[in-house]
Structure 1
Amino acid sequence: MNMSALAFAAAAVGTSAPALAQETLNLTIATGHPAVFLWVKHIGETFIPTLNEELAKTGEVEVNWTEAYGGTLVKLGGEAQAMQDGLMDVGQAMGVFDPANMGILNMTYAMPFGPTDPRLVTEAAEHALMSTEGFLDQLADATGVVYIGGGIAIDGYNIATTMPLETRADMAGVKISGAGPNLSWLDGTDAVGVQGSYVSFYNDIKTGVSDGAIGWITANAPAKLWEVAPYYNKVEFGAMYVGGLAVAQDRWESFSDSTKEAFRVAAKAYQDAYFDEQAANIEAATQAMLDGGGEIVEFDDAERDAWIESMANPATAWSEAAAARGEPVDEILSSYVDYLADAGFTFPRNYLED
């Protein structure tokens, strides 16, 4: 065999040699909410496809996904515990549904009447969490869950009722359904809080258990809440940050740096897709309500100010609970408030002092 033939044979052997074996990760991602909720929908539509694309760029690993949504594997609020127990690897860290593990993420619920822009609220909340030195590591060690970004917020909360509400006097004796910490926002009025959720709101109002509900327009739309509560009263509680995406700590620590970065890139894509669709949905849901016979009612500004000043400070108990867990709550809240101030928003009340 001549030299050129030898060279060709050697090259052929080299090109046919197998590449380094690609690792396959078997990952389970689960949620308590069904995919009808926008924050679950974009896990399958955006987060997973983007992550797969990012991982393919390096070829180190590929993922074999098991997807379990709508409580088929984990109950709502049990996501962090399920990650600790090894039942799932990736999910959502949401304080409003899991206050025992993720209560620190409820900072916006402790300071109602904030900004109505969900993107701004989320930017400020994630800035506060991520800029507080060592906090995310502390949270991971305490919960077994690593927050990777992808934070989202619910569009502005208001009150849908069977009668128009323009003043606090209009609220006297009105039974208003709400979930969890939302009912504390009614303090400073003579409204009557009724525990409930979107699972029960429609029937509760229809049957007279309540006269209305605290909620947001993009959830009111699929529920067609205006059929039983046609008045959408703009009290402007504000948009509420609920949390983001998370990975079980043991699993996260086994990832290479490039794999971790791929997760973060996918989380950002998920966040952007969520907010883009949310913005379109707000407009469409509002129009659907108006077309369906609903009516927007503007709450009196002076009455709203008096309400805010007279309510018991909802940040007090929340801050005390966070401090009892050893979390740097003062630093986080100050960072959140300062970020919003730099963006041009000032709270109508200083929740940090009174």
Structure 2
Amino acid sequence: MRSLISLILFFFISSGMAATEKLNFTIATTHPTTLPWAALLRDYFVPVSSKRIEAIYPNIELEWHQAYGTLYKWQDSLNGLKIGLSDIGWVGSLWESSRLPLQNITYDLPFITDDLSSLLSVMNDLHHDIPEMQDSWSDNDLKFLAATGTDTYHLVTNFPIRTLADLKGKKILAPGAASIWLEGTGATAVNGALTTYYTQLKTGVADGAVTILSGAYPFRLHEVAQHVTLVGIGAQFVGALAINLEVWNHLTQPVQDVFLEVARDYSRLSAEAANQRYVEALEALQNEGAILYTLPLVEKEKWMKSLPPLALNWVDRLEARNLPARLVLKKLMLGLKARGIRPVNSWGVDLLALDN
């Protein structure tokens, strides 16, 4: 671990046994700072953490090596942090259904809410309240710090969509766990990430994408797929800010506390930024010639009805692995309810008798 020597020095520094020293961290994401969860690491998490830690320990100076979208690719967000290529970083849980199964719950609950701020608040609470949520990370040598997510998903395609039937036979990019949203539509899901979509669309690998506008616009997807169909599949928990567990265990309690506090604020701010960027992206797409169309409610309802009972299937699948999926689902739905959210689609959750 590159930072280990500095971390060990930190114990001497904090005890007043050393002169001013540098504490080195590498922080990385798989995506560039055009996306809010990456930009806020640079603009908020890094400077605020440094300021607070240096106020506690005046004899140290934090030094950051920052790599946003350059150190490893989207498929390696978990492994890159796990093996120590970075010390702190963003992990995309949506591509890690097998290793972070409980974290992908929202992808099995499409069409529940577009309220990202409330959703992330609930997901942070779930990680605090349910030990198995934290265990998913520690089993991969990571420590969860705070939830991140995206604005609601829509369709960006190189063909017009007026009805659900227009998706039949088409190849649609759907990242990781989102592929299940296309079941029953007649479309074929193609894996990828925002960093690859432009090329995949331009070269004919896919005809469109289920994606977020706050990402579609800065990656210029409308240049190769000019039709934007507003669906509102829902805001999503897509990953988290995490820290390598070995690094975490070498930090003093005050430093751990700072990282947790700043990370929670970072989570809230990332949701606010995503919401603002969504509004800006929608306006920019209109101004730059994208063809916008809102999918009629009757077609949206057809889409929901075409899908299998995703939430119930998710519970059965994970409970068979001795994971508390029912509890996670219960607390998620009750948490949204407590925040005044009424899901657009309850996905038969009432059948689980969640209030019992």
TM-score (norm 1): 0.83
Alignment partners' CA distance in 1, 2:81 and 2:321: 20
Residue number in structure 2 paired with 1:70: 69
1:333 counterpart (308, 329, 332): 329
Change (3 A) 1:265 1:157: same
Deviation at 1:237, TM superposition (A): 0.8
Deviations 1:218-258 (A, max 9, x none): 11212322233222112211111112211222222222221
Q: Please report the RMSD computed on the Cα atoms of aligned residues, expressed in angstroms.
A: 2.7
Residue number in structure 1 paired with 2:227: 231
Equivalent pair of 2:120/2:268 in contact (CA under 8 Å)? no
2:116 counterpart (102, 118, 135): 118
Residue number in structure 2 paired with 1:214: 210
Amino acid at match of 2:224: V
Q: Does the alignment pair 1:241 with 2:237?
A: yes
Percent identity between the two aligned chains: 25
Change (3 A) 1:75 1:168: closer
Amino acid at match of 1:265: E
Deviation at 1:332, TM superposition (A): 1.1
TM-score (norm 2): 0.83
CA radius of gyration, larger in: 1
Residue number in structure 2 paired with 1:298: 294
Unaligned 5+ segments in structure 1 are 1-17
Alignment partners' CA distance in 2, 1:86 and 1:190: 42
SS at match of 1:223: coil
Count, aligned residues: 334
Q: Does the alignment pair 1:274 with 2:270?
A: yes
Alignment partners' CA distance in 2, 1:317 and 1:77: 26
Residue number in structure 1 paired with 2:306: 310
Deviation at 1:155, TM superposition (A): 0.9
Deviation at 1:187, TM superposition (A): 1.7
2:345 counterpart (344, 348, 354): 348
Alignment partners' CA distance in 2, 1:85 and 1:194: 28
Unaligned 5+ segments in structure 2 are 1-14
Amino acid at match of 1:174: K
Change (3 A) 1:330 1:203: same
Residue number in structure 2 paired with 1:58: 56
Change (3 A) 1:145 1:351: farther
Equivalences for residues 172-191 of structure 1 within 5 A = 172-191=168-187
Change (3 A) 1:258 1:108: same
SS at match of 2:23: strand
Change (3 A) 1:19 1:348: closer
Amino acid at match of 2:230: K
